[in-house]
């Protein structure tokens, strides 16, 4: 039974890789390149995490076998993407999984009852195996043993791979990025502890370090879901539009809007689920991966580039603490007024929401340091004036600095620059 389950799970991993990597629309091609690069570089760890969380009864030795299979698959398909196994039609694959569903996972029965288009997405997002009741949350082999440093030094790659497997199966509630963060924290901790006279007294507190890391990540997700519940989709998209524009004002408006929409979509998908944390953390990190990797080796600005090139596991916390880009050359007041006039005074049959988003991007680029309250005030007054001025004979007058409708606001804002 276990062998059958693992055989089926190999198909599951292959389908998981395909579902993450294959572009379905022309505009997804750049995102595909970024995601494919991540998968190619992290096949081993992705396989370990997925195996440990979806097939609880698999031993580490069996997971090692799966890793070798997946690495071989990756190498052969990178060398020749025309091979049959590299072009499977959607770990046909879905049909195989559903034909063996009882031996692969108890969580996919409802998915297999869906029609083929919805079946794949459902299976990929299926709940993980429940953690066995007799499996504690602690990892005593890696925190309580006196031989940790010796075992680490004997074969580091295998040692940390086994740690990742052990911690992943004990914490099925955690996301892939979070499990990689924990592994990095553990590596750094042992680097310090194993150079001390009494290493055990140092690394026996590793669980506290792991919990601190998870608590920080969990707080970030909880805050995002709280904003989703309180602000609603439109206001939340404006929030992320401001956030992305402040961090990367060099990006075109269309891309900033797209990224903010994807963040809102991730929260809308995840914030009502039982595994809220893992879902948000996984999907939000993919959005940041898109920001970083749309063009190979592109640079945006020093601080964004630093986060994009940092350890993948800590990319999201890095972005969370980014400030407004101070190297960006701000446009002048007259440039903003010109942009307003072009948007609101020309008879273009464009969606009003697009105009609002474009104005907000210009506003953030123009005045990145003002408070959220001041920005909301300007946004409300200018857009209200624009909507009103669209119905009069000389709308350009509404956006001149002398205009009573917006002049005071623009002059006050200019003083703050």
Average pLDDT over residues 281-304: 82
Are 122 and 2 members of one domain?
Answer: yes
Are 311 and 349 members of one domain?
Answer: no
The strand ranges marked E within 44-188 are none
The pLDDT of residue 160 is 94
| CA angle, 375 then 378 then 379, to 5° | 80
Average pLDDT over residues 60-89: 73
The pLDDT of residue 340 is 63
Q: Can you give the residue range of the structural domain that contains 369? A: 333-415
Domain end marker among 320, 352, 386? 320
Are 353 and 314 members of one domain?
Answer: no
Lowest mean pLDDT among 38-52, 181-195, 228-242: 38-52
Are 301 and 363 members of one domain?
Answer: no
Q: Which residue has the higher pLDDT, 315 or 26?
A: 315
55 falls within a domain: yes
Domain end marker among 72, 103, 126? 126
**Whole-angstrom Cα distance, residue 103 to residue 160?**
29
Q: Which residue has the higher pLDDT, 82 or 101?
A: 82
Are 288 and 387 members of one domain?
Answer: no
The closest of 11, 37, 34, 7 to 95, measured between CA atoms, is 11
Are 310 and 351 members of one domain?
Answer: no
Cα distances from 205 to residues 159, 172, 183, 190, 210, in angstroms, run: 19, 22, 15, 11, 9
pLDDT bucket at 27, cuts 50 / 70 / 90: very low
pLDDT digits (tens, 9 = 90+) for 260-291: 999 999 999 899 888 889 889 988 988 888 88
Q: Which residue has the higher pLDDT, 215 or 368?
A: 215
The pLDDT of residue 26 is 37
pLDDT bucket at 67, cuts 50 / 70 / 90: confident
Give residue for tokens 């408006």. 253
297 falls within a domain: yes
Backbone dihedral angles phi then psi of residue 130, each to the nearest 5 degrees: -70, 145
pLDDT digits (tens, 9 = 90+) for 305-334: 999 888 878 989 999 888 888 888 776 667
Is residue 64 over pLDDT 90?
Answer: no
Mean pLDDT of the chain: 76
User: Model-level pTM?
Assistant: 0.75
Are 296 and 346 members of one domain?
Answer: no
Q: Which residue has the higher pLDDT, 357 or 220?
A: 220
The pLDDT of residue 405 is 45
Domain end marker among 298, 320, 342? 320
pLDDT bucket at 19, cuts 50 / 70 / 90: very low
**Total domain count for the chain?**
3
Q: How many residues does the chain have?
A: 417
Are 304 and 340 members of one domain?
Answer: no
Are 270 and 337 members of one domain?
Answer: no
The share of the chain scoring above pLDDT 70, in percent, equals 65
The pLDDT of residue 208 is 94
| CA angle, 57 then 61 then 66, to 5° | 85
Lowest mean pLDDT among 109-118, 220-229, 255-264, 397-406: 397-406
Is residue 7 over pLDDT 60?
Answer: no
């Amino acid at each position: 039974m276990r062998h059958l389950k693992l055989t089926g799970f190999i198909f599951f991993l292959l389908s998981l890789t395909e579902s993450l990597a294959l572009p379905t629309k022309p505009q997804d091609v750049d995102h595909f390149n970024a995601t494919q690069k991540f998968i190619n570089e992290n096949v081993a760890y992705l396989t370990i995490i997925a195996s440990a969380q979806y097939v609880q009864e698999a031993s580490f030795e069996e997971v090692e076998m799966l890793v070798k299979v997946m690495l071989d698959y990756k190498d052969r398909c990178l060398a020749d993407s025309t091979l049959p196994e590299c072009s499977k039609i959607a770990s046909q694959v879905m049909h195989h999984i559903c034909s063996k569903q009882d031996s692969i996972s108890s969580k996919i029965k409802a998915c297999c009852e869906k029609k083929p288009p919805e079946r794949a997405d459902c299976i990929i997002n299926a709940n993980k195996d429940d953690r066995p009741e007799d499996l504690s949350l602690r990892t005593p082999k890696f925190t309580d043993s006196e031989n940790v440093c010796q075992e680490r030094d004997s074969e580091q790659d295998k040692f940390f791979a086994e740690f990742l497997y052990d911690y992943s199966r004990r914490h099925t509630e955690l996301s892939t990025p979070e499990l990689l963060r924990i592994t990095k924290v553990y590596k750094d901790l042992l680097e310090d502890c194993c150079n001390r006279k009494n290493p055990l007294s140092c690394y026996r507190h590793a669980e506290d370090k792991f919990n601190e890391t998870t608590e920080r990540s969990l707080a970030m997700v909880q805050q995002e879901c709280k904003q989703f519940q309180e602000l609603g989709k439109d206001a939340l998209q404006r929030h992320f539009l401001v956030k992305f524009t402040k961090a990367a004002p060099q990006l075109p408006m269309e891309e900033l809007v797209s990224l903010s929409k994807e963040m809102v979509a991730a929260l809308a998908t995840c914030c009502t689920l039982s595994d809220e944390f893992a879902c948000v953390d996984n999907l939000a990190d993919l959005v940041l991966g898109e920001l970083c990797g749309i063009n190979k080796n592109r640079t945006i600005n020093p601080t964004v580039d630093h986060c994009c090139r940092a350890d993948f596991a800590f990319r999201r916390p890095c972005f969370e603490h980014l400030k407004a880009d101070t190297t960006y050359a701000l446009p002048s007041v007259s440039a903003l007024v010109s942009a307003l006039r072009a948007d609101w005074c020309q008879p273009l049959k464009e969606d009003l929401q697009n105009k609002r988003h474009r104005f907000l991007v210009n506003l953030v680029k123009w005045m990145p340091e003002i408070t959220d309250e001041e920005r909301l005030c300007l946004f409300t007054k200018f857009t209200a004036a624009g909507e009103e001025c669209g119905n009069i004979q000389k709308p350009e007058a509404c956006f001149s600095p002398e205009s009573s409708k917006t002049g005071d606001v623009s002059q006050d804002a200019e003083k703050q620059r």
